Structure 1
Amino acid sequence: MSWSPLILTLQLATVTTAVLFVVGLPLAWWLARSTSRFKSVAETLISMPLVLPPTVLGFYFLIAFSPGNAFGSWLEETLGLRLVFSFGGLVLASVIYSLPFMVHPLQSGLTALPDSLIDAARLMGKSRWEILRRVQLPNIRPAMLTGLVLSFAHTVGEFGVVLMIGGNIPGQTRVASIAIYDEVEAMNYEAANAYSLILFAVSFLVLLGVYWVNGRNGNPLPTGKRLLKR
């Protein structure tokens, strides 16, 4: 058994989760506070990966970013980006595919915060950035932890979308889920079992961690006294 697919999987999950947090937080904040008529459309687009087969997303990523198409050719010639069959392509596809697993917990956490806390912070002269950084984020830590852990675990288990956009290049795009498929096809069940057990253990431990931490925190909602201390 080679450790390369497992290392690549962890690298992909780590980078994807970091990007998702940066991208998902402003999206979740907007969805939690917006009254725009386009909110439902945005929520639908973000949630599409929950119901679409991964191969559908992977197929369209493959078509869009292929150097044989106009957009893919422009990316490669102008920006020097070749996303098909590359680690960068895996990250982009994983970010889109795991987006709801980051946005939904953050949106729920932000929506659950009482409006009175935001109003009190405004009366104290806090800017939007200060309210987000010093009031909202500290009080949705369980939601942030849930989003981070679910995004990481979901990326670890990806198969169809990464196979379509990244192929099966050892050391570059051959992640653990693809390695399991290859070993089963080769009837090397011992190696497939080893990969599967490791992924099972990683997924179990990260999920156990988030349930344990959220269980210890109890009610994550802040109080007015906590706000005033800031």
Structure 2
Amino acid sequence: MTSQRKRENAGTRRAILANEIAQAIRLRMFRPGEWLRQIDLEERFQATRFDVRSALDELAVRKTIEHVPNRGYRVAEVDMKTYKEIQATRIVLEAAAAEGIAARIDAAAIARLTEVAAQFSAVVLTGSRTEQSEINRAFHQLLYSFCGNAVLEEMIWSLRDRERGTQMTVWSSHDALLRSDSEHYAMIEALKAGDARRLAGVIAEHIRTGGTRAPAGMERG
């Protein structure tokens, strides 16, 4: 195996493991401020010491976690000021993605998006917070995959993951969950009409209303 191939394989393993750890953080398996023990991560994810360290370094660059010299790595803690700034930046970036999405998405992809929206509607009624969060993420992953700009897409998800460092939690009430559900369909209708401006407006409102949150453990509904 060539040295280039080895580097590519190492990069792939690092990215996959980093995404798995980030997902665990999103699902609150690790809480804001919690220290991440490398040996525990090796066992949990069946990974080598080198791959775990590489993945942690990548997550530190993304600001999902932070590296404290001579101490190790811990899940980033985001204060309210930074949280609001992340929300404002998300609105700028995700609304900017609307034009590319509207120009590139096709009828088959809109149909798939509608299917995922229907799955979310179902778990709104009977699903767990984990199911709701993961299907909501799948909806937006499919949506932003059509933005046509890999760097923009990477920045969007980096900010979304960094946002998990706050002590706030998604959907402060069942009404907020229902509103989020309705906004998914509003995005789909904008896409069917090919209306990028309307899509951008719905996305911005989706982020704003999603930002009406309560401290972790205090959700209603």
Same fold (TM over 0.5): no
Higher relative contact order (CA 8 A, sep 6+): 1
Normalized against structure 1, the TM-score is what?
A: 0.30
TM, length-normalised to structure 2? 0.31
Choose 1 or 2 for highest CA Rg.
Answer: 1
| Structure with the bigger percentage of helix | 1
